Amino acid sequence: MEVDVRSLSHSRHMVVRGWAGAALCGVVLLVAHLGLGIGGGRLDRPIDQWLADGLELFAAVGCGLRAAWIRRERAAWTVLGLSVLSFGVGDVLFDFVYGGNAPTPSAADPFYLAFYPGCYVALLLLVKSRISSFNRSVWLDGLIASLGTATVGAAVLFQVVLAHTSGHSVTVAVGLAYPLADIVLLGLTVFAFAVTRWRPGRDWASLGAALIMIMAADTIYLMLSANGSYSEGTLLDALWPMGLLLLAAAGWHRRDREHAIDLEGRLLGAAPIAFGLAALAVLMGDHLIRHLNPLAVWLAGATVTTVFVRTALSVGENTRLLGRARALSLTDVLSGLGNRRKLLHDLERELGRERPSAFVLVILDLNGFKGYNDRFGHPSGDTLLARLSAKLEAAFAGRATTYRLGGDEFCVLASLAENDPEAVIDAALTALTDEGEGFAITASCGAAMLPDEADDPPGALRVADERLYAHKALLYRSRGRSEDALTHVLTEHDRDAHHARQVAELAASLGARLNLSEEAIVELRLVAELHDIGKLAIPDEVLQKPGPLSSDEWDFIRRHTTVGERILAGAPAFRTIAKLVRSTHERWDGTGYPDALAGTAIPDAARIVTICDAFTAMTNPRPYRGLIAATEAIGELRRCAGTQFDPFLVEEFCRMILAQGSPSLPPAAAPPSIGGPSRA
């Protein structure tokens, strides 16, 4: 017998081993006499009564030592020790007071029957102590197992005892109390095994085997007594002392690891289904074969009902788990915001409607986050991301959906029925801004208007990503790191690598000719360089199309000024430039786009860039036509003066171009329509 005495002192260690050795010797002697007849009849009384009863009391001593010397589970083993002691006292009364032939009821019966409630309490205390965690599903699985076992016991054992029990009501009550107590004990034992998922370990296996041995002895005794065939001095009498000693020994087995059980959401296992079928068989037997006792029928009904409850609980738990798993699959773990999958799901839902609502999709990327990570470490970086995520979510609470797409990339999807796109961009950029000692975090952004600029999720993300890339390049340039950064972005997207630079040079020259301030000329140059940044959202097949454009393609082209405005407006330093870029395709007669401005309502810088852009476009080859001579282009500008272009600015521009070859042409006087930098 292996005992767990590692935490005991040497003396107590020796006591436990001595107890185990003595118990083993007593059992061997008892079995040898009762089973093999060793010692003959002269040893019947010393062994059948003295030794057997002594071993039962010795088992109570083993439980008492376990409770006294080991604090853990002390309450359970104290109750169990008292229960074993009560059973042993009952046997002492049975053998030495009644001489092995006690009436029913007798003084021994209360001591015998007290054993069972003590076992119930001790079992429940041990289950609570040794099973670290389990939920309602596990409890119901154990209840199904215990009820199913009790049903079979009631249909077999209780039925036999009931059929052979008669006499005074007290006699019948005491006679039926034993099978009832055994049925409950069997059910609780099976419950304990069920909640350990039928892998009890050595300690639980020893405990269960001891209780089953005692119940088996009770069952055989009751059935033999009911038939009048029980005789004292057989091997059956050894089962009670052996079971009680095994029960005490279970307290000294080396503890197995506690079971952490979480079966939430699992469907019924094989054991609950088997017990449910057994209960159903009892009900069918009661109806088709013979009427059983009400206890068996009620227990069978309770078992089947519990199986239905367990099934309903499984369905509910699986539904909740599915919802939880789906929510987790759509949620970024670090920030709690929606992830990229959630964004695609929302875009598919909104854009898939028959009449999609208008939305703005804003993708944002942090600037300076890599340096923050390198300096302060990744745990601090995660904390920063969580803080910025909370700010972003709070900024749009109740009016837009926020996402973290991974890394330091975020997104906002806002309905235009409730939000202004510029306000959305401003709020997002503000929320993703943070600074402290040694760091400053800002954000770049790219926006797409849905469904006008894209009608499917990939297209929406592509448009927003391209504008995000352009905005980052713009910020890169605005910080003075490279004068050619944004031009490089435009060049990558537009085959005409020099167009923007040529327009900027002409616009700056015309500004100088008009005696604009140096500040106004710098601003004019920027507007000219960036006036086509919105073309980043136009596919190459449209920009480079050799033939005429369709009406849909023209609609796409006409949106590039508002797109450019949104790209530039993401950087506070370029918001003035953004408004001017928006107006670079307005016409003097009010038929331009996007706002149909007319005359001097069109900003000065936009009117200048419009003329320079048209001249550069005519004098450079295009996929859909060849180049035009400068003189022809001048003629075309003059022809459209007063309709498409500011007539005064056209004349000044033409004089400037012609002056490069004929410097004798006099400049025209500037009318009131041209002002200083405050109007540019």
Task: Give per-residue pLDDT as tens, 58-73.
Answer: 999 999 999 998 888 8
Of 680, 613, 679, 676, which is closest to residue 644 (Cα–Cα)? 613
**What's the confidence (pLDDT) of residue 508?**
92
- 451 prior amide bond cis, ω within 30: yes
Please state, in angstroms and rounded to a whole number, the distance separating the CA atoms of residues 334 and 311. 35
Q: Phi/psi at 400 (nearest 5 deg)?
A: -165, 165
**What's the confidence (pLDDT) of residue 25?**
94
How many C-beta atoms lie closer than 10 Å to residue 614's C-beta? 19
**Which residue(s) pair with 364 in the sheet?**
410, 445
Q: For residue 447, give the 3-state DSSP assignment.
A: strand
Mean pLDDT of 495-500: 63
Residue 255 in this model has a pLDDT that exceeds 70 = no
Mode of pairing for the β-strands spanning 259-260 and 131-133: parallel
Question: In this structure, what token pair is assigned to residue 89?
Answer: 């006292």
For residue 208, what pLDDT band results from cuts at 50, 70 and 90? confident
Integer CA distances (angstroms), 566 to 464, 503, 534, 662, in order: 11, 21, 9, 42
**What's the confidence (pLDDT) of residue 129?**
77
Integer CA distances (angstroms), 150 to 30, 279, 445, 531, 669, in order: 32, 9, 69, 86, 111
| 8-state DSSP, 1 | -
Within a 13 Å sphere around the CA of 101, how many CA atoms are in the beta-carbon half?
3
- Residues 302-333 pLDDT 10s: 888 888 887 887 777 777 877 777 878 889 99
**What's the confidence (pLDDT) of residue 202?**
76
Q: Are 665 and 655 in contact (CB under 8 A)?
A: yes
675: which residues sit within 8 A by CB, 6+ positions away?
604
Please state, in angstroms and rounded to a whole number, the distance separating the CA atoms of residues 510 and 660. 12
Q: Phi/psi at 408 (nearest 5 deg)?
A: -110, 30
Using alpha carbons only, how large is the chain's radius of gyration in Å? Answer: 46
Residue 634 in this model has a pLDDT that exceeds 80 = yes
| 8-state DSSP, 670 | P
User: DSSP H helical segments within 46-107, as ranges?
Assistant: 52-69, 74-92
**What's the confidence (pLDDT) of residue 665?**
40
Please state, in angstroms and rounded to a whole number, the distance separating the CA atoms of residues 544 and 546. 6
Residue 337 in this model has a pLDDT that exceeds 80 = yes
**What's the confidence (pLDDT) of residue 170?**
66
| H or E element in which residue 334 lies | none
Q: Provide the sign of the torsion angle of the four alpha carbons 623, 625, 628, 633, taken in this order.
A: negative
Highest mean pLDDT among 367-376, 422-431, 656-665: 422-431
- 546 prior amide bond cis, ω within 30: no
Integer CA distances (angstroms), 547 to 536, 544, 559, 610, 633, in order: 20, 9, 20, 23, 21
Integer CA distances (angstroms), 470 to 67, 115, 364, in order: 76, 83, 12
| Bigger pLDDT: 574 vs 602 | 602
Of 176, 146, 178, which is closest to residue 162 (Cα–Cα)? 176
- Residues 587-615 pLDDT 10s: 999 999 999 999 999 999 999 999 999 99
**What's the confidence (pLDDT) of residue 391?**
94
**What's the confidence (pLDDT) of residue 623?**
54
For residue 254, what pLDDT band results from cuts at 50, 70 and 90? low
Judged by average pLDDT, the poorest of 263-267, 445-449, 629-633, 650-654 is: 263-267
| Bigger pLDDT: 391 vs 206 | 391
Mean pLDDT, the chain, integer: 80
**What's the confidence (pLDDT) of residue 165?**
61
Residue 672 in this model has a pLDDT that exceeds 50 = no
For residue 47, what pLDDT band results from cuts at 50, 70 and 90? confident
pTM, two decimal places: 0.48
Mean pLDDT of 150-174: 67
Integer CA distances (angstroms), 90 to 58, 84, 165, in order: 14, 10, 22
465: which residues sit within 8 A by CB, 6+ positions away?
363, 446
